Structure 1
């Protein structure tokens, strides 16, 4: 199913945070949502998850994401927010298992498919060894991986993750991106907001670049993350290289127009 937004706008506290954004994303694509602080990335993701009032249209296939009910949404969209807090003293496995609730009737026991989805999600997030631990007693990075696993276990055709790499060490950032890339290869649509330009350049099929609530560019990382766009939107210069695994972009300096505060 295509993810399609048309004339999408969001106003918060009388301020236009998203302004007339339009895009169409096909299934099987890992999309990196990039932009400076305050560009509107989290607002866009919350809007796609139905958490904000919007103007315009948001559709996923035949489904209107602005009005769809919570039960149907939970079978279509898995959402990992930027603010990640675990408030229950559950084991890691039990917390990941919450991702399967949209697929079970109330009181119904977990099926073999549920168990397989939980096991797979924990492997993909590299938390299988943490399964019996109490989730609230884990480190921040470990908790982030547990919540990512819960979203993966939900097995929805659309996965939205807001800065899931934040707080992860380098190895787990790469593992995360590899897992998201694999989910996209299975036919899912995956949107992930990122600040790390190299992670976006090397792993994302497409990059959506936001700036001041507007869609500045959408396309391949090579096209969107151009020197011109990095200078104009981020105010940085970057070192660029290419190896067998893809594009490398490392910010190395500020332009004259870079923000000072």
Structure 2
């Protein structure tokens, strides 16, 4: 379980201010909020990429930012909005990066279990035919599915995703969110920044909103309407 204890973080001005909350395990949690509200900052604090200026971000009682990167990468997989990718990599090479936390060197031979995991995930995400393709030849949606697959191949109990269905058509968005929902049902903790309120409400077990430096439960129409400055009868909240 994640526990945030009086967490604050700022850039030129406060982004998160004295945030305390618990995030339960084995749920699909959606993070919502207007642009610039601090959603990505929250996710980076949860990943350990950022260290809280005040307070602590704890995972099962351990300070995430103080955990060794290799050990942290065996606990938490992250999908960012902007990934620095080598365009000459093939999809297969990209996916192999997901096993890096468990290897002594990059080109170490895959185990039978790793190969089975790769095959399952590439089938699930409809990437099998793309394995020999170079990243530079992929569409935005194909590349997005590849980045998600790499995180899944990392095979961690926690998955953090920043706008995971960006660049995907509506059919693919639903498929990915249903897949993430099923992952949570099998015991993974999945935390995702989402922008489509209707999809977030349909697939997530619970929602958090970042508003004015605070992180609050956002499971009611009234709260969502306030956070996004919408009327409560807005079609986007139905």
Q: TM-score scaled by structure 2?
A: 0.92
Inter-partner Cα distance in structure 2 for 1:58 and 1:12: 18
**Larger relative contact order (CA 8 Å, sep ≥ 6):** 2
- Which of 4, 16, 33 is the matching residue for 1:18? 16
1:237 counterpart = 2:231: yes
Contact 1:178 1:203 in 2 (8 A): yes
Q: 1:238 to 1:117 in 2, by over 3 A?
A: farther
Alignment partner, residue 217 of structure 1: 217
Alignment partner, residue 100 of structure 1: 99
Alignment partner, residue 70 of structure 2: 71
Inter-partner Cα distance in structure 2 for 1:123 and 1:88: 23
Contact 2:198 2:237 in 1 (8 A): no
Contact 2:86 2:135 in 1 (8 A): no
Deviation at 1:251, TM superposition (A): 5.1
Inter-partner Cα distance in structure 2 for 1:34 and 1:147: 21
Contact 1:86 1:143 in 2 (8 A): no
Deviation at 1:5, TM superposition (A): 1.2
Deviation at 1:237, TM superposition (A): 2.9
Count of aligned pairs: 236
Say which SS state the counterpart of residue 5 (structure 2) adopts.
strand
Q: How does 1:20-169 map to 2 (within 5 A)?
A: 20-54=18-52, 55-106=54-105, 108-169=108-169
Q: TM-score scaled by structure 1?
A: 0.85
User: After superposition, what is the alpha-carbon deviation per residue over 1:178-230, rounded to whole angstroms, capped at 9, x for unaligned?
Assistant: 11111111211110000001111110001011112211325xxxxx241x223
Contact 2:163 2:194 in 1 (8 A): yes
Q: Which has the higher strand share?
A: 1
Moved more, 141-150 or 17-26: 17-26
Say which SS state the counterpart of residue 66 (structure 2) adopts.
coil
> Where does structure 2 lack aligned partners over 5 or more consecutive residues?
none
Contact 2:225 2:237 in 1 (8 A): no
Inter-partner Cα distance in structure 2 for 1:124 and 1:18: 36
User: After superposition, what is the alpha-carbon deviation per residue over 1:81-118, rounded to whole angstroms, capped at 9, x for unaligned?
Assistant: 11234224111122112101112222532111111221
Deviation at 1:71, TM superposition (A): 0.6
Moved more, 117-126 or 65-74: 117-126
Contact 1:84 1:144 in 2 (8 A): no
Inter-partner Cα distance in structure 1 for 2:62 and 2:113: 25
Say which SS state the counterpart of residue 66 (structure 1) adopts.
helix
The root-mean-square deviation of aligned C-alpha atoms, in Å, is 1.8
Inter-partner Cα distance in structure 2 for 1:63 and 1:126: 36
Inter-partner Cα distance in structure 2 for 1:63 and 1:89: 38
Deviation at 1:11, TM superposition (A): 1.5
Contact 2:43 2:160 in 1 (8 A): yes
